[in-house]
Structure 1
């Protein structure tokens, strides 16, 4: 940890704290995008592996807090309601991870990012995609499978999840809990994987633990905004963040 910080001027450390604080705020307000903001921001001046290591513990803790904010009972209700989405997502995530060497990541990121951007723009322009309760099983199989497929390949399964929750008109508290549960499962898997890979090690674990402070402080501020936010404003805010998340996927794909 000291070796990493020793080469960083004070303004870079302050910038890193500010980025993590902002990512926590967005996470608290709309429920997602924490890893994307931290990885994009810190990755602009830190090695990608270091930026990835820093975000892991805050990602796990913020998602656990988000999932259980209304208590264990409320979280279990979400698990029971979205069990099929979760099951198919995890199955596709595990299997598609094996295809990383076959499909170029740059192609995948663009193919995923462009539909996300188009969906967000159409929804923001008042066109609506409303999924009917009668097709729920089919929709969860298709969108959950898609989320898992691109998650295993790119490490980003948030945008399709938000697309689904927006399209079914999930109430904001339920949407927040569902995102916490869905992302939390992936975050725990990410933690285990990178303890084994060496990305999380004696030098980076303290940095990741230190990042918990600005991440949780930002999330607390974001949750205060979320609690005062009308449902219509919450939906629009999710779409705006989804738009930028999609644009970021396209940017990453074009730059690889």
Structure 2
């Protein structure tokens, strides 16, 4: 990747993706995969986002006050995400992402539209013990197949009724596990282009700058406004994924 125009496009993509992530706590891989998909193969794009995604997710994970309680509550889901992702990377390694990405986009649009127009979905605490591993395995399979960590982990975590900062920290935990498992799965299948992986380090700076700008915006909005914009962000991500898959 020696073309200056391509390098500039990658930097701009990761700044925008970091900005979205800073505000909503998510969206970096979705935005990055969508934009880079027009420039690179799905495997190369996934390899390029692993390092900046990991760095921003770890930052998000530790930028909160309740890591220990969240780990104690969510570890079954995290373990299942890792297993599902490792098993699902064969699809991404083969480049078979169009149908799954379109389905994900539709699911995101439906969930976000319903939550914006109707009552918030809630998961009763008594159902977490069996539902968390199911959500984790499904999220892992989707991550392995598309390189995107959103469905169904994000709607599930939001349905737990977590406070604004707790939700963002929980998303950081989920995305960190997904990123590590995705990188490991691609490497195990020999589908991790070393050149792209090394260049992905260059995307860290614009991603962190965008994320910091987004965090400043998030700190100025209320819990109600955060929920509304969070769901709007999900809706837009779904539209973006569906449009990209249908091109």
TM-score when normalising by structure 2: 0.85
- Superposed displacement of residue 252, structure 1: 4.2
| Aligned CA distance change for structure 1 residues 205 and 128 (closer, same or farther; 3 Å) | closer
Conserved? CA contact 2:57–2:175, under 8 Å: yes
- Verify: 1:52 aligned to 2:46, yes or no: yes
Q: Name 2:128's counterpart in structure 1.
A: 136
Q: Is the 8 A contact 2:85 2:141 kept in 1?
A: yes
Separation in 2 of the partners of 1:216 and 1:105?
27
Q: Number of aligned pairs?
A: 245
Q: 1:185: which partner in 2?
A: 177
1:174 to 158, 162, 166: 166
Distance 1:126-1:141 versus aligned 2 partners, 3 A rule: same
Secondary structure of the structure 2 residue equivalent to 1:127: coil
* Residue 204 of structure 1: aligned partner: 196
* TM-superposed deviation, 1:171: 0.9
SS at match of 2:246: helix
Q: Equivalent residue for 2:32?
A: 38
Aligned partner (choices 62, 82, 100) of residue 74 of structure 2: 82
Change (3 A) 1:20 1:68: same
Unaligned segments of structure 1, at least 5 residues: none
Verify the 8 A CA contact 1:194 1:200 in the aligned structure 2.
no
Q: Compared with structure 1, are the counterparts of its residues 21 and 133 closer, same or farther at alpha carbon in structure 2 (3 Å cutoff)?
A: same
Measure the CA separation in 1 of the matches of 2:44 and 2:127: 43
Residue 25 of structure 1, CA deviation: 0.8
Choose the corresponding residue for 1:218, options 205, 210, 217.
210
In structure 2, the gaps of 5 or more residues are none
Distance 2:163 2:101 in 1: 29
Separation in structure 2 between the aligned mates of residue 112 and residue 188 of structure 1, nearest angstrom: 21
Deviation for aligned residue 1:129 = 1.4
Q: Does the aligned pair in 2 maintain the 1:166–1:235 contact within 8 Å?
A: no
Query: Which whole-Å CA distance do the structure 2 matches of 1:223 and 1:158 have between them?
Result: 19
Provide, for residues 201-234 of structure 1, a one-character-per-residue CA deviation record: whole Å limited to 9, x for no partner: 2x43442112111111111111111222211122
Instruction: Please tell me the root mean square deviation across aligned C-alpha atoms, in Å.
Output: 2.7
Task: From 160, 165, 169, give the equivalent of 2:157.
Answer: 165
2:111 counterpart residue number: 119
Whether 1:250 and 2:205 are equivalent positions in the alignment is no
